[in-house]
Amino acid sequence: MNVYLYATCLSDMLNRQIQKSAKTLLEKAGLKVHVLAGATCCGQPAYNAGHRSAAKKVAMQQLSIFKEDWPIILPSASCAAMMKYHYTKLFEDEKDTFEQVLKLKRKVYEWSAFYQSLSPALIDKGAAIKVFCHPSCHGIREMQQHQVAFSLLDSLEHVQLLHLPHEHECCGFGGTFSIKHSSISTAMADRKIDELSKLITSHGLSRLVGADYSCLMHLQGRMQRLGINIEVQHLACFLEQRL
Amino acid sequence: MEKTFTKNVKQALNNPVLRANYRKALDALAEKRKTAFADISLELPARREAAYALRLNSLHKLPELLSQLEQKLNENGIHVHWAQTPQEANQIAESILRQNNAKKIIKGKSMITEEIRLNDYLEEHGFNVIESDLGEFIVQLAGEKPAHIVAPIIYKNKEQVAKLFAEKLNFHGSSAEELTHAARQFLRKEFYSADAGLSGVNFAVAQTGTLCLVENEGNGRFCTTIPPLHIAFMSLEKVVEKFSDVPLLYSMLCRSASGQKITVYFNMISKPRQKDEKDGPQHVHLIILDNNRSTILSDPLLRKTLLCIRCGACMNNCPVYTNIGGHAYDAAIPGPIGKILMPQIAGMEKYGHLATASSLCAACVEVCPVKIPITDILLKLRAQATSLKNLSFKQRLYSGKLAEKIAFMLWAYIFSSPLRYKLFLKMLHAFPALIPLKVRFTPMLRQWTKTRDFPMPR
Ligand code: SF4
């Protein structure tokens, strides 16, 4: 089976390991993976900030690159949600483009959900470890698939998945929100980090994973600033290391 | 206005007691809501859908429902007044009070009177206004403003209330029961001596001309039955078509607001006192406020702002509200619903910045009993706010709007071309150390590194 992997701009720019791991794992599960050439960004940063024409300009570019009718897999729930649920709103008045948008919508999948649907062999070769998996808001409330990451991790023999009292609460990233309202955004991160710190001292939590790199980048940046040293990894990278 | 907001936020974030009060109280409310729906969890999606459809239907038919309501109320002997603006609503209330020679006014809980700042207006004009809802009573004693639409004193803990009572009422007690009892004793006298009672309206039924009032303390019933004059306030979207529409909305409201299946009191007001009746006000008036809502109604998406039944669930579940508290918004209606409603009723200049103060996590959308697409509406308001049309050159420059627009145009220029994008990535990875540095020194992006490290590209 052929699939497209949409790398996402954040992975392209800041952490290329994510797309590498996402690709490797899909290949191990027997797929032929084509990293989409010409993919840049889904347009979400501009869309969420209200700059619709900029968002459209970039989104248009994405619409034009899918030559084959293959599933499109994104290692980020928020970018997947953008293409699956928000392109229809962004292009609602564009009758020439709308059909293309609908076609794309049907083919978009979030990476962890797609990966799990392949029933991959999850033979854990890693050492015993306690992890927390941050469910992103887009994973919970838009793609509605955040349980998938939990269940993937739960099936690993040596991984103990820990939970937080307010784990469904937003980490505070929110794109331009994290810049425009830096102090609120940081306070939200701190709430999450407080709970994480408790798990570190009381339960020996040693890694933070998640299926959305944007949240992880935000939390990691804040933890580094606070001097809390715990490894942060995208779910795909974590899984690839252990399988 | 954005400046005030930033200042308020800073203050709130630096107040650990305040934040702990909010966290504790909101966690409890969110939990109550969850358990309240446990018995119908499977039906919940269908009920939300039904409640949404029902409210939307009322909005579609608003003009005819409102005229039907007016006609019914008139038939029943309730006077109806229309107010375009808060100022008008206040003036109408004032003239009714003056005609009836009313000086002392006892008031039930009502968010619309916050919207029009009725208390301030009446007090400035020589009236004596007493809040009778326990929470609002405490807010008034403290000389503050409600911080939540259902639980006005959510920001205070019991100890703070006890201290306030000791100072202002010379009452010394500490348990919730004692404090409530003290307030009740104090208020009881006021109910009997008030010249007029004021209230809000939760649902106004067009078919029967019935004003429904939802409450838990019985103070609403006191306000609307004991004084000789009752003035009710509602914004125009509160109207529903049939009486049979009410049970579903009422149930969704109670479960979402306080986790109750039903409230302790549910008042249905349809007439002033009749000849053979022993109680009830002789005169009942209803003031219906527009305050820009008829404009909001003309937009199919923005219209949905008016579906709201004021349950407060969106704030109870909002991580921004939980962190900064209700007062920071400096708005009659705070929280997620306030972020979409306030800019629309009180103007983008005053409240436009609220629309940006959301991470779009959609926790509010998940719990809203009438399925208001709060995040979509936020996005639309943001899109409207990016327009530079009505801004002077100075405003463009100093608001940062122009800079933001240029930044996104530049972004779109690079990201809409695979070639330019590739080049951009090449440069980025050739000098990875430059990026965190650049982030540190770019004015806008500096907001990131103020509190967070930026990752080294790899
Ligand atoms: S927006 Fe929805 S959740 Fe918020 S107060 Fe209104 S009805 Fe309740």
- What pLDDT digit, counting tens, does each position of B156-186 carry? 999 999 999 999 999 999 999 999 999 999 9
Q: Three-class SS of residue B359? A: coil
Asked whether residue B445 carries a pLDDT value surpassing 90, the answer given is no
Asked whether residue B435 carries a pLDDT value surpassing 80, the answer given is no
Give percent above pLDDT 90 in chain A.
94
Confidence of residue A37 (pLDDT cuts 50, 70, 90): confident
Asked whether residue B73 carries a pLDDT value surpassing 80, the answer given is yes
DSSP B401-417: HHHHHHHHHHHHHHHT-
Query: Distance between CA atoms of B428 and B422, rounded to whole angstroms?
Result: 10
B348's tokens: 């983008």
B121's tokens: 């207006």
Q: Three-class SS of residue B141? A: helix
- What pLDDT digit, counting tens, does each position of B217-249 carry? 999 999 999 999 999 999 999 999 999 999 999
- What pLDDT digit, counting tens, does each position of A171-202 carry? 999 999 999 999 999 999 999 999 999 999 99
pLDDT score for B389: 77
Asked whether residue B1 carries a pLDDT value surpassing 80, the answer given is no
pLDDT score for B182: 93
Interface test with A, best of B415, B422, B434, B440 (most A CBs within 10 A): B415
- What pLDDT digit, counting tens, does each position of B365-421 carry? 999 999 999 999 999 999 999 887 777 777 777 777 888 899 999 999 999 999 999
Confidence of residue A80 (pLDDT cuts 50, 70, 90): very high
Query: Distance between CA atoms of B54 and B250, rounded to whole angstroms?
Result: 12
ipTM of the complex, rounded to two decimals? 0.95
A184 closest CB neighbour out of B323, B382, B428? B323
HSE (side-chain half, CA atoms, 13 Å) at B172: 0
A200-234 b/e (C-beta count within 10 Å ≥ 16 → b): beeeebeebbbbbbbbbbbbbbbbbeeeeebebbb
Fold of the domain spanning A123-242: Rossmann fold (3.40.50)
A75's tokens: 């290692």
HSE (side-chain half, CA atoms, 13 Å) at B264: 7
pLDDT score for B296: 97
Ligand 1 touching residue B340 (CB < 6 A):
no
Ligand 1 touching residue B65 (CB < 6 A):
no
Domain with CATH 3.40.50 in chain A: 123-242
Cα–Cα separations (whole angstroms), residue A142 to A10, A135, B375: 20, 12, 12
In 3D space, the residue among B311, B271, B289, B272 whose CA is nearest the CA of residue B234 turns out to be B289
Asked whether residue B204 carries a pLDDT value surpassing 80, the answer given is yes
Q: What residues in B contact A170, CB-CB < 8 Å?
A: 319, 359, 361, 363
Asked whether residue B90 carries a pLDDT value surpassing 90, the answer given is yes
pLDDT score for A124: 94
For residues A43-51, give the mean pLDDT.
96
pLDDT score for B183: 93
pTM for this entry: 0.95
Query: Distance between CA atoms of B132 and B218, rounded to whole angstroms?
Result: 10
The residues, ordered by sequence, that sit 6+ positions from A68 with a Cβ below 8 Å of its Cβ are A2, A4
pLDDT score for B439: 74
Confidence of residue B77 (pLDDT cuts 50, 70, 90): very high
For residues B30-38, give the mean pLDDT.
92
B349's tokens: 């200049």
Interface test with A, best of B339, B374, B416 (most A CBs within 10 A): B416
Give percent above pLDDT 70 in chain B.
100
Query: Distance between CA atoms of A138 and B365, rounded to whole angstroms?
Result: 12
Shortest distance, CA A227 to any CA of chain B (angstroms): 11
